[in-house]
Amino acid sequence: MMNTDKDNQESTGRTAPENPGRVSLLNLQEGRINDYHPGLRFEERGMVHSAGDGIAWIKGLPSACMDEYITFSDEGAGLVFQLSPDRVGVVLLRQGKALGVGSEAFCSHRTISIGVGDALLGRVVDPLGQPLDNTPAPECTRHRELDVPSPPLLMRDFVTRPLYTGIKLVDTMIPIGRGQRQLIIGDNGVGKTSLALDTVLNQKDQRVRCVYVLIGQKKSTVVQVLETLRSRQALDYTTLVVAEAMSLPGLKYLAPFAGAAIAEEWMWDGHDTLVIYDDLSTHARTFRELSLLLRRPPGREAYPADIFFLHSRLLERATCLHRDQGGGSMTALPLVETKQGELATYIPTNLISITDGQIFLDQRLFSAGFLPAIDATRSVSRIGGKGQHSVIKEAAGQMKLDFLQFLELEVFTRFGSRLEGGVEEKLNKGRLLREILKQERLRTVPIEFQLAWMLAYSMGLLDRVPPQTVPRALERIQELTAESGLGLEDARETWELNLRKWLAPSEEQEYDQAPGNGSSAQDAE
């Protein structure tokens, strides 16, 4: 006959130990009972009246606020975009399969935020912070609201430091400063994205963190941008925010604000950041689509009246903070598309008035083979010169004026009129400068080389170099500049002495007598 636990305890004189798991469970249940206080629970619940085309109308939710985050019973989500007396217009951000008439909707009493911080470097995320690169979600310890007010005026500082793009024409004639808003504008297919990519690639080892926002782009374009950044090791300091063409309109609407929030967090931490919006024309069309669907009154070109305020509050977040606030900066490069080079349409004129300058890319220059196809006559940087290095500013000061005068003189030569000797000399000088300013895609150059070629050009050391051998002469200057270790702080006399050695007459004759030139140095004279 088997003894029970009680018999064993009596025979041994010891008490069996209690089950610790059972004790902890009892304590937990007891704590819940003691902490329970009966009361009323208030929950506001709405019903979907209609849904489609990326929006939903909800009846109920009387306490819903503009830009509030809304959740649905099928795990969908949306953003309050329009308030009416009897219903709420919601832009869908995540659409469940069961969403339809009669689905329940709930207020969250909060706005949309996104994870920020160093965990996003090298990642590809959507405007809600969800990963798109087939890797686990980034472990962000901090979150930031997407739409926040721009820094107040007393926290800002003047633009005093340059942001180099690696593009010869931009860094010399249309300089960009850290904290500036510079518009990149032009027709479709003239190289706006390539110019933005060059700028990102040139920030390597410059202590600038980049955010590239792709709005409504095709998946092939997104993949191409991603592979370009990855192959050049630029993802180490870059975050991609993607709302591709097949995404919900709500995600495309939020994409630039998500990119601004990510860059803004680094700015407040004292870092220099660069955010690129590619492009705001698509963003404006998405905003117009959502506004018309939700029955907002249309204005010029059917855009709602607050489209200017939408883009201005986005771009005003780009600034340079005072050193008391950490001294960080946020440079914004928005892209906008024109039709047949027309700048007077609604969205381009809005953005031109908001930003601190524009880089205009012309279709005719692109077709003529002048790349990057930047039209210097219609491009301007209003505050970039404040951050330009003094030696670069001095070397490029007269050069832009000479180049613009050359472009005007070249127009008159098309009429076949006879030219004076001085005019012909200016034309030859301008043609040489135009060849120097040509640059291949994804081949950025350091600022020290740019100073070298500007000095060589102004000193006349390149005057005897035929146009077809200019690229080879520039490559030699770049190699010798890198080997010399000269920097912007070195004296101009030192630069000129080295340039004369590098471009001695024997070297000029070598360029002039290169095979295929069809002329000798004596003929060139």
pLDDT, one tens digit per residue, over 128-178 is 999 999 999 999 999 999 999 999 999 999 999 999 999 999 999 999 999
What was the pLDDT predicted at 413?
78
Distance CA 161, CA 388 (A): 7
Instruction: Retrieve residue 500's tokens.
Output: 């004369």
Averaged over 207-223, what is the pLDDT? 96
Q: By percentage, how much of the chain surpasses pLDDT 90?
A: 78
pLDDT at 449: 97
Q: Which of 230, 295, 323, 382 is catalytic?
A: 382
State the average pLDDT over residues 2-8: 45
Residue 45 near residue 105, CB atoms below 8 Å? yes
Q: What is the pLDDT of residue 10?
A: 45
Mean pLDDT (whole number) for 90-116:
93
Model confidence band, residue 523 (pLDDT cutoffs 50, 70, 90): very low
Amino acid at 226: L
Whether the CA torsion 223, 224, 227, 229 is positive or negative: it is: negative
pLDDT bucket at 500, cuts 50 / 70 / 90:
very high
Long-range contacts of residues 163-166, Cβ cutoff 8 Å, at least 24 apart: 163/199, 163/203, 163/208, 163/272, 163/274, 163/331, 163/387, 164/202, 164/206, 164/447, 165/195, 165/198, 165/199, 165/202, 165/444, 166/198, 166/199, 166/201, 166/202, 166/444, 166/445, 166/446
pLDDT at 40: 77
Label residue 42 by pLDDT band (50, 70, 90): confident
Distance separating alpha carbons of residues 75 and 92, to the nearest angstrom: 12
The mean pLDDT value for 383-412 works out to: 89
Other C-beta atoms lying within 10 Å of the C-beta of residue 62: 10
> What distance in Å separates the CA atoms of residue 5 and residue 1, rounded to the nearest whole number?
13
Q: Tell me the C-alpha to C-alpha distance, in Å, between residue 452 and each of 441, 447, 465, 492.
A: 21, 9, 16, 10
Instruction: Evaluate if residue 420 carries a pLDDT over 80.
Output: no
pLDDT given for residue 33 in this prediction:
81
Note if 492 is an active site residue. no
Confidence of residue 398 (pLDDT cuts 50, 70, 90): confident
Q: Which two tokens stand for residue 325?
A: 């606030």
Strands (DSSP E) found in 339-398? 357-361, 380-381
Question: Average pLDDT, stretch 341-353?
Answer: 94
pLDDT in tens, 261-305: 999 999 999 999 999 999 999 999 999 999 999 999 999 999 999
The structure's pTM equals 0.88
Kindly tell me if the per-residue pLDDT of 345 is higher than 50: yes
**What is the per-residue pLDDT for 433?**
94
Instruction: Look at strands 208-215 and 238-243 and give their pairing.
Output: parallel
Residue 522, pLDDT > 50, answer no
